[in-house]
Amino acid sequence: MIFRVGALWIGCRRAFIGLLFGLTAFAQTSLTLFPQQVNLTAPVGSATVTQSVSLSTTGQNVAFAASARYLSPAGGWLSVSPATGTTPAILTISASSANLEPGSYLGQITVAAGTIGGVVNVMFTVASVPRGGSLGVSPSGLTFFSATGSTILPPQTLSVTSIGAATVAFNASASSSGNWLTVFPQTVTTPATLTVIPIAPNVAGRHTGTITITPGSGGNPTVVPVTLISGPANR
């Protein structure tokens, strides 16, 4: 009888120690989200922008569930993926300007993992664009190099896309001292590729010009600086 009581006491003691270690490990688990503040901007229309957020836990890996919560009257613009999983994980936060008026919108991504959790605050700005859309131009600048006396230089291109509208008609024009810069086509509709052609001056030095792209329906023009650097030919 004494042996049985002793064995029972030892078994209970071991179970208690195991439970204590389990509770201690769980109590030490914490959840980290980075960054905890996300600022996103998109033009009015149907643009979607994203931001990655890292999710990790200390102590042990745990299952989690993520969801969107809105702090502004408008909803439906915020989402997170994956919605469930196990830490560590990378969450992708998406915000869409579809069906939203220009302005600022507040939301949160909430993450729950058992009794612990965290929040990512999201500020979403929907920017207005001129009626009929605006233009996106890439690259934002061009540079040419030539040897003095060379007249034929390889052309470069500009890519023009529309923002906030399916297509946008626009005009393109070139300006430079000495008229060494040309662009074509000059009247076109997005999406489009413009070809920029320089005619190298006979004078060595740094020459500047611009390509101006103006929406046909009005709005602010996009000015692309162009630089031509002309120097002595290599001997």
Residue 1 pLDDT > 70, yes or no?
Answer: no
**Amino acid in the structure at residue 208:** T
**Domain endpoint, select from 81, 111, 127:** 127
Q: Comparing 139 with 111, which gets the higher pLDDT?
A: 111
Pair 164, 75 in one domain: no
Mean pLDDT taken over the chain: 82
Which pLDDT belongs to residue 25? 46
Q: Is 208 found in the same domain as 122?
A: no
Residues 40 and 113 in one domain: yes
The residues with which 159 forms a beta bridge, in sequence order, are 138, 193
Mean pLDDT of 83-100: 93
Are 67 and 97 within one domain? yes
Average pLDDT over residues 130-152: 75
Is residue 40 assigned to a domain?
yes
**Is residue 87, in this structure, part of any structural domain at all?**
yes
* For residues 169-178, average pLDDT: 90
More confident residue, 80 or 137: 80
Cβ atoms of 92 and 134 within 8 Å: the answer is: no
Query: What Å distances lie between residue 58 and 22, 88, 221, CA to CA?
Result: 14, 10, 52
* pLDDT for position 149: 62
Residue 105 and residue 156 share a domain: no
8 A C-beta contact, residue 40 and residue 123: yes
The region of weakest confidence among 33-37, 164-168, 189-193, 212-216 is 164-168
Cβ atoms of 45 and 98 closer than 8 Å: yes
In terms of domains, do 195 and 148 share one?
yes
Q: What pLDDT, on a 0 to 100 scale, did the predictor assign at position 112?
A: 95
- Mean pLDDT (whole number) for 164-170: 78
CATH number where 99 lies: 2.60.40.10
Report pLDDT for 19: 44
Q: How far apart are CA 214 and CA 221, in angstroms?
A: 4
Residue 110: other Cβ atoms inside 10 A? 15
Whether 190 is covered by a domain: the verdict is yes
Instruction: Determine the pLDDT at residue 131.
Output: 52
* Banded pLDDT at 94 (limits 50, 70, 90): very high
**Range 124-146 average pLDDT:** 78
Residue 110 pLDDT > 70: yes
Q: Let me know if residue 213 belongs to a domain.
A: yes
The secondary structure of the chain as a DSSP string is: -HHHHHHHHHHHHHHHHHHHHHHHHHHH-EEEEE-SEEEEEEETTT-EEEEEEEEEEESS--EEEEEEEESSS--SSEEEE-SEEESSEEEEEEEE-TT--SEEEEEEEEEEETTEEEEEEEEEEEE---TT-EEEEESS-EEEEEETT--B---EEEEEEEESSS--EEEEEEEETTS-EEEE-SEEESSEEEEEEEB--SS-EEEEEEEEEEETT----EEEEEEEEEEPPP-
Among 127, 146, 164, the domain boundary falls at 127
Domains identified in the chain, total number? 2
**Percent of the chain scoring above 70 in pLDDT:** 79
Q: Are residues 170 and 114 in the same domain?
A: no
In this prediction, residue 132 carries a pLDDT of 53
Would you state the pLDDT for residue 8?
Answer: 45
Residue numbers of the domain that contains 54: 30-127
Percentage of the chain lying above the pLDDT 90 cut: 42
Which residue from 81, 92, 94, 85 is spatially nearest to 53, judged by alpha carbons? 92
